[in-house]
């Protein structure tokens, strides 16, 4: 088990050091910001939608290794996916990391996001891991597209 933990740790550190899709997007069709005041993590997620597909996705921000690695892994995972598939992945991931300490939830549906499964043992880090996902939801579903709307 320890070897697996070390491997996961390595993947997280690698994504923190060299985050994938880490840039602003000029032709984004949606963007949303997320802020986790508990840890100080900030993230902006950009998406370019084509029909019901996430044709392109990127992010910017600063924060702890978990928040950055999670955002990086998220962009890698959902790029090219349909919105429905990315929603399903978000729910599977959220279920995994909120399962609570000393649980063994299934990781069958989360693909490479499995490396973040250990977050469930650290309740204070769950928001770090899900921050980018909440921003993605807002960017895709238009809940937080730029300044707050009046209606
Ligand atoms: Zn954090």
CA of 13 to the centre of ligand 1 (A): 13
- Mind listing the pLDDT tens digit for each residue in 62-97? 999 999 999 999 999 999 999 999 999 999 999 999
Neighbours of 107 (CB within 10 A): 15
pLDDT value of residue 151:
38
**Ligand 1 center to residue 76 CA distance, Å?**
19
Beta strands in the chain (DSSP E): 30-36, 41-50, 53-62
Q: What's residue 105's pLDDT?
A: 87
Q: How far is the CA of 65 from the centre of ligand 1 (A)?
A: 7
Residue 1 — pLDDT band, cuts 50, 70, 90? low
User: How buried is 32 (Cβ within 10 angstroms: 0-12 exposed, 13-18 middle, 19+ buried)?
Assistant: buried
Ligand 1 centroid distance, CA of 39 (Å):
5
DSSP per residue, 3-36: HHHHHHHHHHHHHHHS-TTBS--TT-SEEEEEEE
Q: How far is the CA of 123 from the centre of ligand 1 (A)?
A: 11
> Domains plus CATH for the chain?
2-149 (3.90.1010.10)
> Using one digit for the tens of pLDDT, what is the confidence trace for 4-33?
778 889 999 999 999 999 999 999 999 999
Nearest alpha carbon to residue 132 among 149, 113, 105, 104: 113
Distance, C-alpha 56 to centroid of its chain? 15
Gap from CA of 107 to ligand 1 centroid (Å): 22
């Amino acid at each position: 088990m320890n070897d697996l933990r070390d491997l996961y740790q390595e993947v997280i550190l690698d994504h923190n050091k060299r985050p994938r899709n880490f840039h602003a997007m000029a032709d984004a069709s949606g963007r949303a910001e997320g802020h986790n005041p508990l840890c100080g993590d900030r993230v902006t997620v950009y998406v370019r939608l084509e029909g019901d597909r996430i044709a392109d996705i990127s992010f910017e921000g600063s924060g702890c290794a978990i928040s950055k690695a999670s955002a990086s892994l998220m962009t890698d995972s959902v790029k090219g996916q349909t919105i429905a598939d990315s929603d399903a992945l978000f729910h599977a991931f959220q279920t995994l990391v909120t399962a609570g300490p000393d649980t063994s939830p299934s990781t069958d549906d989360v693909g490479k996001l499995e490396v973040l499964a250990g977050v469930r043992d650290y309740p204070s880090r769950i928001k770090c891991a899900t921050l980018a996902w909440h921003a993605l939801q807002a960017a895709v579903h238009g809940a937080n597209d730029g300044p707050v709307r009046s209606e």
